């Protein structure tokens, strides 16, 4: 995927132009906007690849789930006190709830039939609930009365929302919900508008040949190309790696995520959504052979890791070395960093059609392992994986410089983006772009502190 990305009014990015290719480097000092770019692009791509019909109905079912969960707590075990019509209503309500939660809405050839069946079930539940409303008021336990009323109100909202809504409208609304969810979860903000710094200007993201997305006054406006969306669906997996610290706390963090999912309350915990995306990818059972057996062998060899990360049936990640197992919490973070890459390969979550984002691949790694990480990621790119890294590692950039010097043909699939220091605007680097010149400026930026200290020490 060779494309140009334009980002306006998102965080530090007033008007940025980024170039993506099979091996993309976002290079610059801390707080220069690298992570904003990678998170933004990851959020948009994963949102556009999602099942928007399923997202729409998942959103609608949350009102039902919440109504049932909280009202069920109120009534306790007194459901047996409901009269026959109320019992029928609750039973049909639960059947509808189960249908909405279990339906994947994946087969678009049958999507109209699925939605028609859903509408029929909603109408049936609504009709039974209406009979209760039309009955003379009886002396009933207050909590029981509220229980049925709240469930009926949830059905009324659902029916009003869905009545005769065309599939095109459902897809559009589902896409907007998915974009909102990805941006909020991955950036851990309370509202999409908080990503912008200019209140009266839209947040703007455009990907060449895919389309543009703008957000202003609580609403998304999208102008997308079907062929471009098809390109995004061509990726087998899209993964974002950041600090392996999250992986050390995975079981605790996932339990908190489960609690917030059950209550349907959005919790800004500081743990980004892409961490949970990664956890789900690692647990998924992919089929076929390992796509990169030679690289996996190098990563797990005695010269590098000397072992491998493994995933237990309960979802616990541990390190295996010389027949012994160590919990990830007591394993060196550098081992976790390279080990995650090997684990993705072993679990077949990385293949030649994958898109991989890595924020600071050098984190917690000795300089020699940073070089090996650069070699590994570049090897993945040569074999077809689209790799996007955000880095400020002199070692990684120097390795790239030496590699391109000896293999100039590989420069054809490298996109090098310089993020300047001192909050300077991220300019369009397409004019007079020269790989060697750009790399030289990046190295100069990153080496400046060392150079100044060296001069002071003379």
How does residue 173 score in pLDDT terms, banded at 50, 70 and 90?
Answer: very high
Residue 96 CA to residue 80 CA, distance in Å, equals 21
Tokens of 417: 């983006």
Helix H or strand E segment including 399: helix 394-406
Q: With 80 as the cut, is the pLDDT of residue 36 above it?
A: yes
Q: Which of 56-70, 208-222, 295-309 has the lowest mean pLDDT?
A: 56-70
Residue 220, SS3 per DSSP? strand
Q: What average pLDDT does the structure give for the chain?
A: 84
Residue 377 CA to residue 298 CA, distance in Å, equals 13
Contacts for 188-191 with beta carbons within 8 Å, 24 or more apart? 188/268, 188/269, 188/270, 188/271, 188/272, 189/268, 190/266, 190/268
Q: With 70 as the cut, is the pLDDT of residue 440 above it?
A: yes
Angstrom CA distances, 45 to 176, 243, 445, stand at 13, 21, 30
How does residue 154 score in pLDDT terms, banded at 50, 70 and 90?
Answer: confident
Helices (H), 140-267: 142-162, 167-187, 226-233, 245-248, 250-263
Helix H or strand E segment including 219: strand 219-224
pTM: 0.87
> DSSP letter at 427?
-
Question: How do the domains of the chain map onto residue ranges?
Answer: 1-237+387-458, 240-349
Angstrom CA distances, 182 to 46, 50, 88, 191, 445, stand at 8, 10, 38, 11, 32
Tokens of 374: 């650069």
- Please name the residues in contact with 138: beta carbons below 8 A apart, sequence gap of 6 or more: 83
How does residue 207 score in pLDDT terms, banded at 50, 70 and 90?
Answer: very high
Residue that wins the pLDDT comparison between 2 and 391: 391
Q: Which of 104-108, 192-196, 416-420 has the lowest mean pLDDT?
A: 104-108
* CA 192, chain centre distance (Å): 15
Decide: 422 and 416 in contact? Cβ < 8 Å: no
């Amino acid at each position: 995927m060779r494309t140009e990305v334009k980002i306006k009014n998102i965080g530090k990015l007033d008007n940025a132009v980024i170039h993506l290719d099979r091996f993309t480097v976002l290079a610059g000092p801390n707080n220069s906007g690298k992570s904003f770019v990678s998170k933004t692009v990851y959020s948009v791509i994963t949102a556009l690849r999602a099942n928007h019909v399923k997202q729409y109905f998942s959103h609608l079912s949350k009102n039902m789930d919440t109504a049932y969960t909280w009202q069920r707590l109120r009534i306790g075990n007194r459901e047996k006190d409901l009269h026959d019509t109320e019992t029928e209503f609750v039973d049909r309500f639960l059947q509808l709830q189960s249908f909405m939660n279990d339906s994947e809405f994946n087969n678009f050839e049958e999507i109209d039939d699925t939605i028609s069946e859903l509408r029929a079930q909603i109408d049936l539940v609504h009709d039974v609930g209406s009979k209760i409303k039309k009955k003379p008021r009886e002396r009933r336990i207050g909590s029981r009365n509220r229980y049925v009323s709240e469930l009926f109100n949830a059905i009324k909202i659902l029916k009003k929302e869905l009545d005769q809504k065309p599939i095109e409208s459902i897809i559009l609304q589902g896409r907007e919900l998915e974009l909102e969810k990805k941006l909020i979860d991955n950036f851990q903000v309370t509202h999409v508008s908080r990503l912008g710094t200019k209140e009266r200007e839209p947040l703007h993201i455009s990907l060449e040949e895919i389309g543009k997305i703008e957000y202003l006054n609580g609403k998304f406006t999208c102008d997308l190309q079907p062929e471009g969306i098809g390109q995004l669906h061509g990726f087998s997996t899209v993964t974002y790696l950041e600090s392996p610290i999250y992986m050390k706390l995975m079981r605790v963090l996932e339990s908190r995520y489960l609690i917030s999912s059950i209550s349907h309350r959005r919790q800004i915990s500081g743990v980004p959504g892409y961490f949970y995306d990664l956890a789900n990818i690692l647990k998924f059972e992919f089929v076929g052979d390992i796509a990169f057996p030679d690289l996996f062998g190098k990563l797990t060899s005695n010269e590098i890791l000397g072992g491998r990360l493994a995933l237990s049936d309960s979802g616990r990640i541990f390190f295996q070395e010389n027949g012994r197992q160590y919990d990830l919490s007591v394993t060196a973070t550098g081992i976790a960093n390279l080990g995650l890459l090997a684990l993705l390969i072993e679990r077949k979550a990385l293949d030649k059609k994958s898109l991989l984002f890595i924020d600071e691949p050098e984190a917690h790694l000795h300089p020699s392992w940073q070089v090996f990480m650069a070699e590994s990621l570049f090897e993945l790119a040569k074999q077809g994986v689209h790799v996007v890294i955000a880095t400020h590692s002199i070692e990684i950039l120097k390795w790239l410089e030496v590699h391109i010097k000896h293999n100039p043909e590989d420069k054809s699939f490298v996109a090098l983006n310089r993020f300047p220091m001192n909050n300077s605007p991220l300019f369009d680097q397409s004019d007079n772009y020269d790989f060697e010149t750009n790399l030289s400026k990046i190295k100069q930026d990153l080496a400046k502190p060392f150079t100044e200290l060296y001069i002071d020490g003379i």
